Amino acid sequence: MVFETPRVDSLPLRVAIIGGGGTGAALAWDLALRGFRVALFERGEFLSGTTGRHHGQLHSGARYASGDPEIARECMAETLALRRLVPDAIEYNGGLFVALDGEEAAYGERFAEACAEAGIPAREIAPARARELEPGLSPRVERAFLVPDGTFDAWRVPAAFLAGARALGAELRPWTEVVGFDASEGRVMAARVRDRTRASEERVEADYFVNACGAWGASIGALAGLEVPVTPAAGSMLAVKGRLCDMVISRLRPPGDGDILVPQRGLSIIGSTQRLVETPEGLLPTDGEMEFLRRSGAELAPAFADAEVDSAWCAARPLFGAALDEAGGRAASRDFAVLDHESRDRVAGVASVVGGKATTLRIMAEKAADLVCRALGVERQCRTLETAPPSWRQLYRGRVP
């Protein structure tokens, strides 16, 4: 498919986005399509934060249906949107929720009802049929439901949005860390940014700033004297070589640890775990987590027990809110929020987008861009639902097209 640069009616307003993960990438594309001049600052390589390290499940929402129906609906809508907008970054392989014991089998009714209420097509199939579809599945399967889950490439979806933003003239600046803000009369006027490859600093002015720093959101907020309620929660994953399944396999039970097996390129990845941490920096899986994940993978697909390990890693979920429950934040919502710091903290010219999931990056960007428009008194509708970005490949080529 040939990408034709969309026509944009340019505005003389500059928006600076801090954080080049999936959320910042989708926001750069959305704002550029609305006509803003966009600058995106990322202190490392693009997508080097949580986005480049997630599980890669394109959620249908079935996982959240019984606990969080709104998020479930949102995931379903965004899954359908992303499948249309960035098809070459998605493997639409479907998902199976399987019960491995009586308690999980009994959860089936609640699961099916909740999926129906959230508009997620979930269809029960016989355990034998599930094993025909996925021969590597545990022989213990007692019940199975087919759902429209999928797999997406953690880099390629946001890379397509970055490529699109750049095609519309956005200034994309990796290796550029925001180290401070200058405010005057209750308004953020400029950010101080440091080019880490030259150890040089400059002052960047903009009409509006958006903190899209995910699990780092609180520390960026603190630079402007803002309280941003984000709690980093570390999650570990373990990948073995080979495809033990081609569909996303989940345990038929409320969301918890070690309950999703995701095929990703030539690997099978079991995840994840969750523990609250002080900082998203330098996270590593613990020995206990790796042993637990190996065991959990083998419960779903017995060959996981002896498969050759490819890699194990850990990333920080940006949980919205304090999330200080006993289950390490598991009870915290996977919802997101766009925080208007003018109404919250009496500091104008800046907002934070916090929480959410990689699956919902587009709608997070839409809500954040709506706030930017309101704050700057601009009437521009979101165009990301009907405008496909270029291929992710364009990010690695010269200018687009």
Residues 355, 318 contacting (CB under 8 angstroms): yes
Size of the site for ligand FAD (CB under 6 A): 40
Task: Please report whether residue 315 would count as binding ligand FAD according to CB under 6 A.
Answer: yes
- How many of the other CB atoms lie within 10 Å of CB of 222? 11
For the segment 257-276, give every residue that binds ligand FAD (CB under 6 A).
Answer: 271-272
Among 30, 42, 149, 153, binds ligand FAD (CB under 6 A): 42
- Name the residue nearer to ligand FAD (CB basis): 112 or 315: 315
- What is the C-alpha separation between 167 and 54, in angstroms, rounded? 26
Indicate the pairing of strand 90-91 with strand 150-152. Answer: antiparallel
Residue 122 CB, shortest distance to ligand FAD, in Å, is 18
Task: Please report whether residue 359 would count as binding ligand FAD according to CB under 6 A.
Answer: yes
Written as six digits, the tokens of 356 are: 């959410």
Task: Please report whether residue 66 would count as binding ligand FAD according to CB under 6 A.
Answer: no
Residue 132 CB, shortest distance to ligand FAD, in Å, is 26
Residue 24 CB, shortest distance to ligand FAD, in Å, is 6
Burial per residue of 95-125, b for 16 or more beta-carbon CB atoms within 10 angstroms, e otherwise: bbbbbbeeebbebbeebbebbeebebebeee
Residue 98 CB, shortest distance to ligand FAD, in Å, is 18
- Name the residue nearer to ligand FAD (CB basis): 127 or 155: 155
Written as six digits, the tokens of 271 are: 């995840």
Q: Single out the segment in contact with ligand FAD by CB under 6 A; choices: 54-62, 88-96, 133-141, 338-346.
A: 54-62
Sequence length of the chain is: 401
Q: Which long-range contacts (CB under 8 A, 24 or more apart) does 256-261 make?
A: 256/330, 257/292, 257/296, 257/330, 258/292, 258/293, 258/295, 258/296, 258/297, 259/296, 260/55, 260/57, 260/63, 261/297, 261/300, 261/301, 261/304
- Name the residue nearer to ligand FAD (CB basis): 56 or 108: 56
Q: Single out the segment in contact with ligand FAD by CB under 6 A; choices: 3-11, 103-111, 357-365, 370-378.
A: 357-365
Task: Please report whether residue 220 would count as binding ligand FAD according to CB under 6 A.
Answer: yes
Task: Please report whether residue 59 would count as binding ligand FAD according to CB under 6 A.
Answer: yes
Residue 366 CB, shortest distance to ligand FAD, in Å, is 14
Which of 204, 224, 202 has its CA nearest to residue 213? 224
Indicate the pairing of strand 350-355 with strand 208-211. Answer: parallel
Among 118, 141, 178, 312, binds ligand FAD (CB under 6 A): 178
Among 55, 251, 275, 341, binds ligand FAD (CB under 6 A): 55
Task: Please report whether residue 20 would count as binding ligand FAD according to CB under 6 A.
Answer: yes
Task: Please report whether residue 229 would count as binding ligand FAD according to CB under 6 A.
Answer: no
Residue 273 CB, shortest distance to ligand FAD, in Å, is 8
- What is the C-alpha separation between 355 and 351, in angstroms, rounded? 14
Place of tokens 């570390």: 234
Among 99, 215, 238, 323, binds ligand FAD (CB under 6 A): 215
Name residue 268's amino acid. S
Q: Which residues lie closer than 8 Å to 366 by C-beta, 6 or more apart?
A: 30, 382, 384
Task: Please report whether residue 251 would count as binding ligand FAD according to CB under 6 A.
Answer: no
Beta bridge mates, 240: 268, 309
Residue 181 CB, shortest distance to ligand FAD, in Å, is 11
Residue 207 CB, shortest distance to ligand FAD, in Å, is 19
Residue 234 CB, shortest distance to ligand FAD, in Å, is 7
Q: Which stretches of the chain bind ligand FAD, using CB under 6 A?
A: 18-24, 41-44, 48-51, 54-57, 59, 177-178, 212-216, 220, 235, 237, 271-272, 315-318, 356-359
